Homo-oligomer: A and B are copies of this chain.
């Protein structure tokens, strides 16, 4: 019998897990399929140790699953819909100092969901 308190705790845990810039970018990176640790690290221009450290809690909470192939570990989103759900949140970003709000949101959404260009890392 799950009480609302229990649900709020689980929800908060999920959000806390997502509430880190690196991890958000990692999830976006995995949006279109599995990738190994080194690839993720290269895409985000971060040391692979750091990616590993971020993957640990994501794995523990089953947000990602991994598949080992030789010495490479390929990770994928357990629930890919989470990535789309995160994109929805872009419209809630701080509205201060936006001249044309809807245009701004559209620009941010495109930036976020585009294939990783080196200039946006």
A residues adjacent to B (C-beta < 8 A): 2-5, 7-16, 18-25, 28, 61-62, 79, 81-82, 85-86, 88-96, 107-108, 111-112, 116, 119-121
Contact of A12 among B5, B11, B19, B28 (CB under 8 A): B19
Contact of A19 among B19, B88, B90, B108 (CB under 8 A): B19
Do A107 and B2 touch (CB < 8 A)?
Answer: yes
**Shortest distance in angstroms between A4's beta carbon and chain B's nearest beta carbon?**
4
Which residue of B is nearest A95, CB measured?
B62
Contacts of A90 in B (CB 8 A): 7, 11
Q: How far is the CA of A95 from the CA of B82 in the complex (A)?
A: 14
**Shortest distance in angstroms between A78's beta carbon and chain B's nearest beta carbon?**
8
Q: Which of A7, A16, A79, A95 has the most CB of B within 10 A?
A: A7
Contacts of A9 in B (CB 8 A): 21
Do A16 and B16 touch (CB < 8 A)?
Answer: yes
Contacts of A10 in B (CB 8 A): 93-94
